[in-house]
Copies of this chain bind each other. A is one copy, B any other.
Amino acid sequence: MFKKILIANRGEIAIRISKACKELGISTVGVYSTIDKPSLHLRYMDDIVWIGDSPPLSSYLNIQAILEAAKKTKAEAIHPGYGFLAENEKFAKACEDAGIIFIGPDSKALSLVGDKVASRNTVKKLGVPIIPGMAMITKDLKKFKHAAKDVGYPVIIKASMGGGGKGMRVVYNENELEKSIAAGQREALSAFGDESVYLEKYIEQPRHIEFQVLRDNFGNCIHLFERECSIQRRHQKIIEETPSPALDNNMRMKMGEEAKKVIEASDYTTAGTVEFLLDKNKKFYFLEVNARIQVEHPITEMVTGVDLVRQQILIAAGEKITLKQDQIKQNGHAIETRIYAEDPDNNFVPSPGKILFLSEPNGPGIRVDSGIYQGCDIPPHYDPILSKLIVWSENRNMSIIRISEALKEYIILGIKNNIGYLKRIINSKDFAKGNYDTHFIDEHEEKLFPKQEKLDIALIAGALSKQAGYTKSESDFQKASTMKSTPWQELGKWEICSLS
């Protein structure tokens, strides 16, 4: 087993990984950029190394600095978390060359699953269903037109090296085709440094359902069932659940076996996720492989009882998977919501700043994977994810109620966040019915903004607070509220009612 692991990430996932390491008796090295010195993740590390200035390219994407930090601290392995260098084959290769174990699939497997057209072709050979579309890269408009006619409109243009919705264009008829290809190519070039695009049948009302797979260096491979991730905003998942309300047991077992085939064919090891689209007729299609621990991995942990990060580390250390497929059960239901520093009332603009007050939910069935503390500064340089709220309960209905209550108890003051917005999605009728697809957010946009309903109460609270300050003596109140007095400081309890 490793003695020391460097964690090349920040925020909640760095903490999550450090906890898994410590439970295995492995000490951890944290890394940080200049602005991250006071960040929470460093408090969970046995040693810390500065790797560069605040912009990601100077630090968390700085392969050289990270490798030097690993060498300096004698870390035997690097866990990349998600994002940043997690699926970067150059980084995996650099680790391999430096004799440091990259906790993830090797650079070859990464390269294969990273290229969408290549993996489509690999998967097609296995007999796993793929979305009908082009099997090769081309710039020839005729071939695009031909392929579009073949699969039938609407079609979708996608970047070959892409992800996150960049370079995507839906095309409803041949007239739009040329313009959309050109636009897709421009976006793909600027986002991925490669202008290749291809074309697929556009699946209407699709659900995004992915399967978690583990595979060791000895060829042992198991899946840990699905996660439904159809609640997305701008192609970013924000709410995930398992089991999916759309699958029955037959489909679940079938898709799980197909997912394993995909992972096996790529000679992929450690933890990976095979993403599928499910159309309105419950036909499923292979979408892509995510070659990392995913943001939403906790829901799988809650229902299966398997610690995925621990498994990743064990597999990377050369251990065999001891769990057998038939030992993995789905027990109960779990939901995750991602807590973001963003302003739903202002087009979801990122909202960095200082967290002035924080109170996180706890109690039965509640897990918070958090990267924040009261008083911390959320820097503008990185992903706006603050933490993840995950709940487990006996069934889907009880999980929905539980997470709705937990969101009410999640208090973050000082920066804008999406807690209320998440709660409105969770409490919507279509979510309760399990009747949703990836267009849920767009289709429910108006319903998700009925925020004014408690504005009156907020205004009353504001006025009472001012009134209390006033009767207590304006200057005291000023001091109390603007000098940022302690939350525990008793300003006295202003029994307003007893004042005339």
Contact = CB atoms under 8 A, between A and B. Distances in A.
A449 B490 CA distance: 35
Nearest to A19: B363
A20 B368 CA distance: 19
A397 to B, nearest CB: 10
Contacts of A364: 16, 19-20, 298, 301, 307, 367, 369
Contacts of A488: 354-356, 374-376, 484
Shortest 7 CB-CB distances between A and B: which pairs?
Answer: A375-B488, A362-B368, A484-B486, A375-B487, A23-B401, A484-B489, A486-B486
The number of times this chain is found in the oligomer is 2
A53 interface: no
A363 to B, nearest CB: 6
State the majority secondary structure of interface residues on A. Answer: loop
B375 A23 contact: no
Interface of A: 15-16, 19-20, 22-23, 37-38, 298, 301, 305-307, 331-332, 354-356, 359-360, 362-370, 373-376, 393-394, 398, 401-402, 405, 484-490, 493
Contacts of A363: 15-16, 19, 367-370
A327 to B, nearest CB: 11
A203 to B, nearest CB: 34
21 contacts: A16-B363, A16-B364, A19-B363, A20-B364, A22-B405, A37-B493, A305-B394, A354-B488, A362-B362, A362-B369, A362-B370, A363-B369, A374-B374, A374-B488, A375-B487, A375-B489, A375-B490, A484-B485, A484-B489, A485-B485, A485-B486
Contacts of A332: 305
Contacts of A20: 364
Nearest to A356: B488
A19 B364 CA distance: 9
Contacts of A394: 305-307
Contact of A359 (B373, B398, B490): B373
Contacts of A493: 37-38
Residue of A20, A22, A354, A362 ringed by the most chain B CB atoms within 10 A: A362
B489 A398 contact: no
Residue of A37, A363, A490 ringed by the most chain B CB atoms within 10 A: A363
Contacts of A354: 488
A478 B376 CA distance: 23
Contacts of A369: 362-364
Contact of A486 (B37, B359, B487): B487
A253 to B, nearest CB: 21
Given A23-B405, A307-B394, A484-B489, 6 more contacts: A305-B331, A305-B332, A374-B487, A374-B488, A375-B486, A486-B487
Contacts of A401: 22-23
A140 to B, nearest CB: 51
Contacts of A16: 363-364
Contacts of A19: 363-364, 405
A381 to B, nearest CB: 18
A362 B355 CA distance: 18
A97 B376 CA distance: 55
A314 to B, nearest CB: 12
Contact of A367 (B306, B362, B398, B486): B362
A363 B363 CA distance: 12
A349 B224 CA distance: 49
Residue of A332, A354, A398, A489 ringed by the most chain B CB atoms within 10 A: A489
A368 B370 CA distance: 15
